[in-house]
Amino acid sequence: MTYTTNSVDSLKGPKPAESLAQERASAAFDPRLMNVFLEGLVAKSEQVLDLFQQMERDVVLQPTFQEYDETKPDARARVAARINRMARYAELEDYHHFMRRLNIVTAFDPSLGVRISVNLGLFLRCIKGNGSAAQFNFWNDKRQNGLIKQMYGCFGMTELGHGSNVAGVETTATFDLETDEFVINTPHIGATKWWIGGAAHSATHCVVYARLIVKGKDYGVKTFVVPLRDTNHELNPGVSIGDIGAKMGRDGIDNGWIQFSKVRIPRFFMLQKWCKVSKEGEVTLPPLEQISYISLLHGRVFMAIDSYRIIARFITVALRYAVARRQFKPSIKRPNEENVESQLINYPLHQRRLLPYLALAYLMAVGSNRLEIEHDTLLDDMDDALDKNDKEAINKCLVQTKSVFNDSGSLKSSCTWLAADCLHEARQACGGHGYSGYAGFGKIISDWSVQMTWEGDNNVLAMSCGRTLIKNVEDVLIKNKKVVGTMAFLNVGAQALGETALLTSAEDAANPEKVLTALEVLIIRISSYCLDLLKQNGGDWDAISYQRVLLSKLRTHQYMLETFLVDFKKADASLKPFLTNIVKLYILHSILEAFSSEFIGYGVINGPLKKAITNELIPDYCAKVRSQVITYTDAFQMPDRIINSALGNYDGNVYENFFNVVKQQNPPQKELKAPYNDALQAMLKRQSLEERDRFEKNEEARSILSK
């Protein structure tokens, strides 16, 4: 029976939007209020929504589906236009407000986010962190770099031969006493600066990490401001630059390589807050070697926040799709669902694949909030101490710096890994349609991958944090010292050792406070075991790298769970039952099950409890979270334009939305035949093989030639 609604149909089609509407009709908490919990403060939540609104409307900055069809040159031109647009906002608002804007923008345009972060984050933070006040003021204010004006900075740390081992970079900065200059030089191909974001086309300046050589002595890696291009944007003499070309993703960034051939810069272009070279070649060394990497902290903190926003964005897509999409009939018919295919979200497996990431997003929200505050506090304290030239306060800040190094290193690595896992699972959970460019997964997965290895390779960072944990446990257990700061939980020390099971029942396993303690105990037990291994192997830390990475992951969960439990107390009462389900699913899945063989191996839980967690508790809590699944994702308060996925619209009208995007981006009238159609036709209509072989191999030829 043919009938007409908005089109002529012969049978009734699917009505996915009705499913979404149904879910919202039974919302049991206020998503707007929940957003305040996620963002930490009413004011911040308001700020984020204002930014969403401004960005979704700004015709230059708003994400579009065209971005999924762009070539690399298109992407670069678009991102350049967006940097220009962002610069106008930078002129009107304070640094912190602009940083929040940058953070929001990064969630939908990672290339744009990084292009600006390299300039204002890495380049300028490096000058701020390593340069004198005069140097910072000169470039930030007088030369207006802080407004993205006059000059554009890039960050010359990594080389073709050295990435993770920054202390090993081989570019040289040799002091020339006679001219009071440094000579910057790339000694061989391996020392070519490589991957430098913004170098290929944009940057006018670079902070170069180079070995300071004074009177033949190598003082290790220091930082230097080196102009790359003049005001006409011509390359300076001695500076060779090229585009490093195709990447997995982030097409909008013009990463480049740079070679310096005896390029001279004035002595006062060396950043000299901590390290100084006098006119006479006297060298003052910094109090802490790591201090020159302090500008990297900002990026790591950012990446933890990024991880939250990216999971929030794409778990929203996958869960809306899971509510909208129906496939197969359930193995047991549910009441009122006679003869209807089941919504994906009602399959226990589908719940188990996605809902733990929903829970994780909640934990990452509060965890990355705390990390941001930790980092801001450090910078403020540092500024304060330096302003007052208060030595004691400066030393305290250096201790604080180490702490933020560890926390951010651990969270950066764990959260970016978890977000990558989430993106892959969410993409697969959208089935074939998840592979469409317009679903958004393809671009973000390619763009995201770099987070695993840049600004501190995840494994290298995690090993470093794991080492700190083990050293701290050694302090507590063997040296009888107290740990201060965010790792103070290690101070329970020997009490944690042994084989006593911390969790013995299903009630224990679903108790967040008990699981937090159990997790802390596990960290101490593994660390202590690592100390034994170290003794056995003669102190070879490399041999326990696997365990160090594991410890860093566990530590991230400890940090997030601890924070959640603090924030939970302050949450609005109406939200608490729903936050409880979230945190319980999180501890059961992402902690107890994910690390179950360690929990069992170190005696923290036993085998039967693990079996109950896997087979009973996780499905139970999945079902509880499922009941409010759309409200939980609505709490992220991301509008359609920011999410920018053909599968993830608020209304859930997925088939019409998807088809419309496809037709808008690929008008079928325009390509009735492909540009390569002639080639296809020539193939299909080719002559016979005999003819193309000039009939040289047929019977006639054979009889002639074999005579």
Q: Nearer Cβ to its own copies, position 531 or 662?
A: 662
Which DSSP letter does residue 686 get? P
Question: What single-letter amino acid sits at 128?
Answer: K
160 within 8 A of 194, measured Cβ to Cβ: yes
Q: What sign has the CA pseudo-torsion 360, 366, 371, 376?
A: positive
Residue 231 marked ligand-binding: no
Q: Nearer Cβ to its own copies, position 43 or 349?
A: 349
Burial 8-24 (b: 16+ CB within 10 A, else e): eeeeeeeebbebbeebe
Triad 662, 664, 670: Cα angle to 5°:
100
Q: Nearer Cβ to its own copies, position 150 or 284?
A: 150
Q: Nearer Cβ to its own copies, position 349 or 484?
A: 349
Q: Nearer Cβ to its own copies, position 460 or 571?
A: 460
What phi and psi, each to the nearest 5 degrees, are found at residue 563? -65, -45
Triad 632, 635, 637: Cα angle to 5°:
140
Question: What single-letter amino acid sits at 451?
Answer: Q
Based on the residue annotation, tell me whether 455 is a catalytic residue of this protein. Answer: yes
Minimum CB distance to its own copies, residue 538 (Å)? 7
Task: State which H helix or E strand residue 176 sits in.
Answer: strand 172-176
SS3 string, 186-228, reads CCCHHHCEEEECCCCCCCCEEEEEEEEEECCEEEEEEEEEEEC
DSSP characters over 258-299 = EEESSEEEEGGGB--SS-EE-TT--EE--S-GGGGGHHHHHH
| Bridging pattern class, strands 172-176 and 181-185 | antiparallel
Q: Nearer Cβ to its own copies, position 80 or 283?
A: 80
Q: Report the C-alpha gap between 439 and 307 in whole angstroms.
A: 19
Minimum CB distance to its own copies, residue 282 (Å)? 25
605 within 8 A of 612, measured Cβ to Cβ: no
Minimum CB distance to its own copies, residue 190 (Å)? 4
Q: Nearer Cβ to its own copies, position 398 or 625?
A: 625
Minimum CB distance to its own copies, residue 162 (Å)? 7
Minimum CB distance to its own copies, residue 677 (Å)? 6
Residue 153 marked ligand-binding: no
> Which one is catalytic: 23, 170, 372, 455?
455
Minimum CB distance to its own copies, residue 590 (Å)? 14
Joined together, the tokens standing for residue 571 give: 């949450």
Cα 687 from chain centre? 55
323 within 8 A of 630, measured Cβ to Cβ: yes
Residue 669 neighbours by CB under 8 Å, 6+ apart: none
Minimum CB distance to its own copies, residue 380 (Å)? 27
| Active centre residues (catalytic) | 455
Which residue positions form the known binding site?
158, 197
Residues marked as binding for FAD? 158, 197
